[in-house]
Amino acid sequence: MPVSLSLLLISGVLIACGVYLMLERTLSRIILGFVMLGNGVNVLFIIAAGAPGLPPFEGSADPEDMTDPLPFAMVLTAIVISLGITAFGVALAYRAWQLFGHDEVPDDVEDRRVLRRRRRRTEDSEHLPWSQALTEESRRGALAQSQGLFAPEDDDPLGSDLTSAEDVPQDATEADAGGEPLPPKPGRRRAEKHGKSTDRPAGERPAGESARDTRHMGGVPGAGPSTETDREHTDGQGER
């Protein structure tokens, strides 16, 4: 089967760009990537139709000389389908922007919990080997948790994420923090640590945090409506 090199190149470039965009973190870029990928694959169908020939009208020419019409019928169907799905994806990205102020794809809940746990551990004892990194208190806490003595939500905001029934406010993802580690939870253990560490003034961290917050809000296009909905959600009212 003769294959047009230019079609093959076009399809290859489209698919490569599509894959690159698909690997991005924001939903809108992923959808652009999906559109490009889809177009690249549609070009593959045109390649599969074989060498170009005469228009396939019945009786106009010898069927041997005509272009194979079947792949084009499939391409048309595929275009219609991807149009509909793209519309849905864009709507989803818009809704995510309304709710969270960005359309970033969240990390897996489980992944973030593991990450959080590890970070908390290293925070407490950076110099200890892994096996001793857990403090006695947190070990007891884990035991109590496994016995069901208290709900994990007290300690772990992501625990509430696992209960699917109620809608939970957006938790800051790693990407939100712009490379910085997640803001530590203001809690019992935190306060203790501040008391111990003398090399850093206790007020420094919260100041840094609020600076990060404002930068985050400011950096988002259309921060006005989004912050409003954000606040609504953190207030725990849920949506109406």
Partner 1 sequence: MSIELLLALPVMLPLAGAAFTLLLRHYTKLQLWVAILTLSAIFLVAMVLGYYVTLEGVLVLQIGNWTPQLGIVLVADRLTALMLLVSSFVTLAVLVYSSAQTVSENIERTPVAIYHPTYLALMAGVSMAFLAGDLFNLYVGFEVLLAASYVLLTLGGSASRVRAATTYVIVSLLSSIIFLAAVAAVYAATGTVNLAEMAVRLDGLEPGVRMILELMLLVAFGIKAAIFPLSAWLPDSYPTAPAPVTAVFAGLLTKVGIYAILRLETLLFPASQIQNLLLAAAALSLIIGIFGAVAQTDLKRVLSFTLVSHMGYMLFGIGMSTQLGMGATIYYVAHHITVQSTLFLAAGLIEHRGGTTNLIKLGGLQKLAPVIAVLFFIPAMNLAGIPPFSGFIGKVGLIEAGIQYDRTSGWILIAISVITSLLTLYAIAKIWNRAFWQEPSEEIISRDVPLPKVMGGATAAMIAFSLALTVLAGPIMEYADDAASSILERTPYVSAVLGDEAAEELQYRIDDAGHRLDGNGQEVDE
Residues of the shown chain interacting with partner 1 in the complex, contacts defined by CB under 8 A: 1, 22, 27, 30, 34, 37-38, 41, 44-45, 47-48, 70-71, 74, 77-78, 81, 84-85, 88-89, 92, 95-96, 99-100, 105-106, 108-110, 145, 148, 151-152, 159, 161-165, 167-170, 233, 238-240
User: Considering the complex, what minimum distance in angstroms separates the CB of residue 152 from partner 1?
Assistant: 7
Nearer to partner 1, 45 or 135 (CB): 45
Instruction: Look at residues 216, 108, 232 and name the one whose alpha carbon lies nearest to residue 158.
Output: 108
Nearer to partner 1, 74 or 182 (CB): 74
User: Considering the complex, what minimum distance in angstroms separates the CB of residue 192 from partner 1?
Assistant: 25
User: Considering the complex, what minimum distance in angstroms separates the CB of residue 14 from partner 1?
Assistant: 11
Nearer to partner 1, 120 or 230 (CB): 230
**Backbone φ, ψ for residue 104 (5° rounding):** -75, 145
User: Considering the complex, what minimum distance in angstroms separates the CB of residue 139 from partner 1?
Assistant: 18
User: Considering the complex, what minimum distance in angstroms separates the CB of residue 201 from partner 1?
Assistant: 36
Owner of token pair 């698909």? 22
- Please give the full DSSP string across 145-194, using - where no structure is assigned: HHTTSS-GGGT-TTHHHH--SS--PPPPPTTTTTTSPPPPP-SHHHHHHH
Nearer to partner 1, 56 or 183 (CB): 56
Nearer to partner 1, 114 or 202 (CB): 114
97-101 long-range Cβ contacts below 8 angstroms, 24+ apart:
97/222, 97/226, 98/225, 98/226, 98/229, 99/170, 99/226, 99/229, 99/230, 99/233, 100/170, 100/226, 100/230, 101/217, 101/220, 101/223, 101/226, 101/227, 101/229, 101/230
